[in-house]
Structure 1
Amino acid sequence: MRNHTLKFVSIMAGIMLYGLHSHTYAQMFNAVQLHAAPPGRDGGLAGIAALTMPQYQGAKETRKLIVPVLDYQWANGWFAGASNGIGYNFSKNASLDFGARLTADIGRKESRSTALRGMGEIKEKAELGAFFNVNPNHNISLTSSARYGSGGDSKGFVVDLGISLVEMPNAKLRVGAGAGVSLANQNYMQSFFGVTKLQAQRSQHAEFKPKAGLRDTHITAFISYMVNPRSALTLLVSSDRLTGDAKLSPISKTIRSNSGVLALSYHF
């Protein structure tokens, strides 16, 4: 039972720290967490979550959503879900994950904010990516991922690096924290933070051409109560801070933004 509980805690940390946080748009699919089942077995997690987050990265306006949570992994290495995308883990070592995956960038709608009027829409795009994670023990995860294919020209490239820590004060209570950084190429930065000459003519913003570099840093903390050995109620809060040219963008109305998640989940 203890081993099963520890596995459940691991996936809860992964889903809550990086999966549900993905709905804040900026950190979508920024890490792969593959602890839904013990090695050699299938397993998954399903639930529902209430979220509050910025309308877009750099926005002052917030948005509230109710979203489903569903992730599953197979013993043969395949996985699929809202948090990890669709992919394959080549590793058979429980402390190491590496592989390839397909994810989706949800783009950005002009209607999300008055600050985006005249900027046009960034369409949804499929992304090809890879990941490499090291899990020294059930408490710590070091994650890295790379994704290519987002933005207006489908050439956006993003690299995410992160670390998460989970502790268990008692049999039912779980607490955790995480931190990470995201780096992006010039194509991505131009699509999501830049202002072209045409956009400048149509909007209230001056022309702006950002360079590649560090896009943001983010920290997250959560507390989770195990209702029973398979179910948990979790509260998560996170804070992102724009850096580099992202924070200098005319459409970035705030440098720091906060998000929150309240989720009920079931491990099967």
Structure 2
Amino acid sequence: MRYLAPRILLSAAGFAVSLVCAQASAQMFNTVQLNAAAPGQSGGMLGVAGISTPEYQGSAKNRKLIVPVVDYQWSNGWFAGGSNGLGYNFSADPQFNYGVRVTGDIGRKEKRAKLLRGLGDIDARPEVGAFFTFNSSTNTFFGSSVRYGAGNDRKGLLFDLSAGFNESWNQNLRAGASLGASYANDNYMQSFFGINSAQAARSSHKIYTPKAGLRNTYVSAFVSYMVDQRTSLSLIVTSDRLAGDAKASPLSEKTRTSSIVGAVSYHF
């Protein structure tokens, strides 16, 4: 357990961050962190997380959610769960993770805000993609991923980059921070931040056609405490900032939004 416990701390925090980003800023699955088990072993976690997060990316109002924590990875390279999606890691080296996966975009419901009235729902869609992550021996990491399939036309593409660090303060306490950015193609930007002619006719908005470019940047910090060898408590705060045409969208009430999550996880 001396090796596994620090990895578990990072895993629990990373999963909770993914949950926050999924609701607050559409950043779910932006990087892959396979820390639920030691290299060459199988393992997972179960738990629950409480989240305060914006109604949609760019919303000025927050909502509160209680969501399950489920994640598992197998010794043969397969993994599945809410933090990383369903995929396969081709690398046996714990410093390098690279592979393919299937994730999901949660879409957006028109009823979430008055600004969305007349725009229609954006359906949840499966995404296919690939990832690469480097975990250094100094407790820092660099991650990248590409995902394709979001939006009602199923052609939305996101390219994500992130970097961060984590540090153990003692045998039970670990803390860290990360920052990242996401680039979106024309289709993704139009689906989530644009207004087409039909939507303009049904709503109070004018036609808006955003171009491909930087969608957002974010910074996140976490602290995680091991109650015992298998149970952890995590607190994560994330600040997200829209950029480019996403920031200028008539749907973006607030350029910078924040999210908070608290999670308890059991690791096995």
TM bucket normalised to smaller: over 0.9
Question: Separation in 2 of the partners of 1:224 and 1:10?
Answer: 8
Question: Separation in 1 of the partners of 2:227 and 2:119?
Answer: 46
| CA deviation vs aligned residue, 1:85-129 (integer Å, no higher than 9, x gap) | 100000111100000000111111100000100111111111001
Displaced runs of 4+ in structure 1, greater than 4 A? none
Deviation at 1:30, TM superposition (A): 1.1
Question: Separation in 1 of the partners of 2:174 and 2:38?
Answer: 19
Equivalent residues in 2 for 1:231-246, closer than 5 Å: 231-246=231-246
Question: Separation in 2 of the partners of 1:17 and 1:163?
Answer: 14
Unaligned runs of 5+ in 1: none
The answer as to 2:163 corresponding to 1:163 is yes
| CA deviation vs aligned residue, 1:182-241 (integer Å, no higher than 9, x gap) | 000000000000000111111111110000000000000111121112111111110100
Partner of 1:257: 257
Equivalent position SS for 1:261: strand
Partner of 1:95: 95
Q: Which range moves more in the overlay, 247-256 or 3-12? A: 3-12
Unaligned runs of 5+ in 2: none
Over the matched positions of the two proteins, sequence identity in percent amounts to 53
Aligned-CA RMSD value: 1.2
Partner of 1:193: 193
Question: Separation in 2 of the partners of 1:23 and 1:215?
Answer: 16
Deviation at 1:20, TM superposition (A): 4.4
Partner of 2:59: 59
Partner of 1:36: 36
Equivalent position SS for 1:146: strand
CA contact (8 A) 2:42 2:74 kept: yes
Question: Separation in 1 of the partners of 2:104 and 2:138?
Answer: 29
Partner of 1:150: 150
Equivalent position SS for 1:228: coil
Closer/same/farther in 2, CA of residues 234 and 13 from structure 1, 3 Å limit: closer
| CA deviation vs aligned residue, 1:68-99 (integer Å, no higher than 9, x gap) | 01110000000000111100000111100000
Count of matched residue pairs:
268
CA contact (8 A) 2:20 2:260 kept: no
Deviation at 1:14, TM superposition (A): 2.5
> Taking structure 2 as the reference length, what is the TM-score of the superposition?
0.97
Amino acid at match of 1:90: F
Question: Separation in 2 of the partners of 1:72 and 1:16?
Answer: 14
Deviation at 1:37, TM superposition (A): 1.0
CA contact (8 A) 2:225 2:234 kept: yes
Deviation at 1:152, TM superposition (A): 1.8
CA contact (8 A) 1:43 1:74 kept: yes
CA contact (8 A) 1:241 1:255 kept: yes
CA contact (8 A) 1:53 1:258 kept: yes
Amino acid at match of 2:195: V
Amino acid at match of 2:237: V
